[in-house]
Amino acid sequence: MDYNQILQEIYEEIQPYASMGAPASYIPELQKVNPDHYGICLHTLKGKEYAMGDCDERFSIQSISKVLVLAMGFSRLGNQLWKRIGVEPSGNAFNSIFQLEMEKGIPRNPLINAGALVMTDILISTLSHPEEEYLTFVRELCGCDDIQYNEHMATSERETGFLNAAIVNMLKYHGNIKNDVEEVLRFYFLQCSIGMNCRELSRAFLPFADHTHPFSFGGTTLTTSQVKRINAIMQTCGFYDEAGEFSYLVGLPGKSGVGGGIAAVCPRKYAVAVWSPRLNAKGNSVMGMKALELLTTKTAISIF
């Protein structure tokens, strides 16, 4: 498989999509980013790296962090986790509070905001130094010591994060948040704020594709079976209410963020990260979605 050739072809074929969509408008910091960026990086299990475009520029990973937080929590709580969160696709917009009301404060899955807020609460209860340990985990995953929180972005998101404040209060009302709501919100927005580039993000997801090495980073250890299960959740829940569409067109487990990043894994083959800030109406990167669709079409490899 000549991945360099494929990444080149993808780059050319997605040009018609280059000006479609728009960056997230509700997070002031994200609007400052040049929307024309595009980068893609792929790491194979054999240790090769293939990169194309703006792969060294860091962006805010936003909701992609939810996978990392899930890994940390699943490692500590195991199946106890599922008493407080489901594994079903949400079937609604990424910020729906309705299902929460109907289902008495049990979020549908850990990859929607409500679920990630409960995961955040769990980490606060479980870890001695949640903020430090999360950073350590991410740094070890991608092998990069200078990954940082963007405090300024986290603060700015909290100030306008009324929907997440509504969600966390609903969860607290239903007894599914144990810590102080402001503490949960602070840590949640910090998780989302960290900046990574495509190389780092792809490397961070490689262990989810790799069933041959043990998953053990910064105190977070997962069995092969647990890694597969995280992949299964990404597959069915990773793209808000476009999860089916992504599964249908791309056929890989993955997770998107409103910063325009998408990370995906092809189990036993490779991990890939793509970044382009313009989003479609569902909040997923237009070029990123298209690039990954072309990737599995051209390689003729997907999980199906």
**Binding of residue 86 to a copy of itself (CB under 8 A):** yes
CB of 294 to a copy of itself, least distance (A): 13
**Binding of residue 197 to a copy of itself (CB under 8 A):** no
**Binding of residue 247 to a copy of itself (CB under 8 A):** yes
Is 94 in contact with 113 (CB distance < 8 Å)? yes
Using alpha carbons, list the distances in angstroms from residue 88 to 19, 91, 97, 238, 266: 34, 9, 15, 11, 21
153 versus 185: smaller Cβ distance to a copy of itself? 185
Is 303 in contact with 267 (CB distance < 8 Å)? yes
| Segment near a copy of itself (CB under 8 A); pick from 69-77, 128-136, 139-147, 157-165 | 157-165
> Nearest CA to 109 among 66, 60, 76, 167?
66
**Binding of residue 22 to a copy of itself (CB under 8 A):** no
How far, rounded to the nearest angstrom, does the alpha carbon of residue 73 sit from its chain's CA centroid? 15
Q: CA–CA separation, 32 vs 156, rounded Å?
A: 13
Is 35 in contact with 278 (CB distance < 8 Å)? yes
| Segment near a copy of itself (CB under 8 A); pick from 35-43, 47-55, 114-122, 158-166 | 158-166
**Binding of residue 232 to a copy of itself (CB under 8 A):** yes
User: Based on the number of CB atoms within 10 Å of its own CB, is 162 exposed (0-12), middle (13-18) or buried (19 or more)?
Assistant: exposed
Task: Give the contacts of 225 (CB within 8 A, at least 6 positions apart).
Answer: none
- # residues contacting a copy of itself (CB under 8 A): 51
**Binding of residue 298 to a copy of itself (CB under 8 A):** no
| Segment near a copy of itself (CB under 8 A); pick from 28-36, 42-50, 130-138, 225-233 | 225-233
| Segment near a copy of itself (CB under 8 A); pick from 41-49, 51-59, 125-133, 243-251 | 243-251
What is the enclosing helix (H) or strand (E) of 256?
A: strand 254-256
155 versus 169: smaller Cβ distance to a copy of itself? 169
**Binding of residue 87 to a copy of itself (CB under 8 A):** yes
Q: Which residue has the tokens 């980073």?
A: 217
Q: Is the dihedral of CA 295, 298, 302, 304 positive or negative?
A: positive
**Binding of residue 90 to a copy of itself (CB under 8 A):** yes
81, 243, 279, 289: residue in contact with a copy of itself (rule CB under 8 A): 243
Tell me which residues touch a copy of itself (CB under 8 A).
86-92, 96-99, 101-102, 108-109, 162-163, 165-167, 169-170, 172-173, 181, 224-225, 227-229, 231-233, 235-237, 241-245, 247-248, 251, 253, 267, 297, 300, 302-304
